[in-house]
């Protein structure tokens, strides 16, 4: 039974990693199609510079795949927003005026 769960987890991660690499491929293609910073001209004019495009796709693919996997793993675990948060409960309405609070003043002895 645990083998099935691990297999499903690996399949899920592989699917999200493939989606990350697909997003990276779309981004690299858009960069070349829009010729951002004359990137397409530079790569086509230089000899063997398509390796640079492949490295850019690989780097962006790893980045987007990790983000996709992280979002898949932690994306649905946001159930801690219900209930009171910090402060210990409901507060009375406040009109913005300062409220005086008495405190004992202690003298400082700076010459020890």
Please give the pLDDT value at position 64. Answer: 92
Residue 82 lies in a domain: no
Please give the pLDDT value at position 109. Answer: 75
Residue 64 lies in a domain: yes
Q: 53 is written with which tokens?
A: 């495009």
Residue 87 lies in a domain: no
HEC assignment per residue over the chain: CHHHHHHHHHHHHHHHHHHHHHHHHHHHHHHHHHCHHHHHHHHHHCCCCHHHHHHHHHHHHHHHHHHHHHHHHHCCCCCCCCCCCCCCCCCCCCCCCCCCCCCCCCCCCCCC
Q: What is the pLDDT of residues 87-112, one digit of tens each?
A: 666 667 778 788 888 888 888 776 65
Residue 106 lies in a domain: no
Our count of domains for the chain comes to 1
**7: containing domain:** 2-74
Residue 108 lies in a domain: no
Question: For a pLDDT cut of 90, what percent of the chain falls above it?
Answer: 16
pTM for the structure as a whole: 0.58
Closest CA relative to residue 32, chosen from 57, 13, 67: 57
């Amino acid at each position: 039974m645990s083998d099935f769960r691990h297999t499903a987890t690996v399949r899920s991660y592989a699917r999200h990693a493939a989606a990350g690499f697909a997003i990276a491929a779309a981004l690299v293609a858009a960069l070349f199609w829009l010729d951002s910073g004359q990137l397409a001209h530079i790569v086509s004019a230089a000899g063997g510079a398509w390796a640079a495009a492949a490295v850019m796709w690989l780097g962006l693919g790893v980045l987007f795949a990790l983000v996709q996997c992280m979002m898949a793993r932690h994306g649905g675990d946001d159930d801690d927003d219900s209930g009171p948060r910090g402060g210990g409960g409901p507060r009375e309405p406040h009109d913005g005026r300062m409220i005086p609070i008495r405190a004992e003043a202690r003298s400082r002895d700076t010459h020890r």
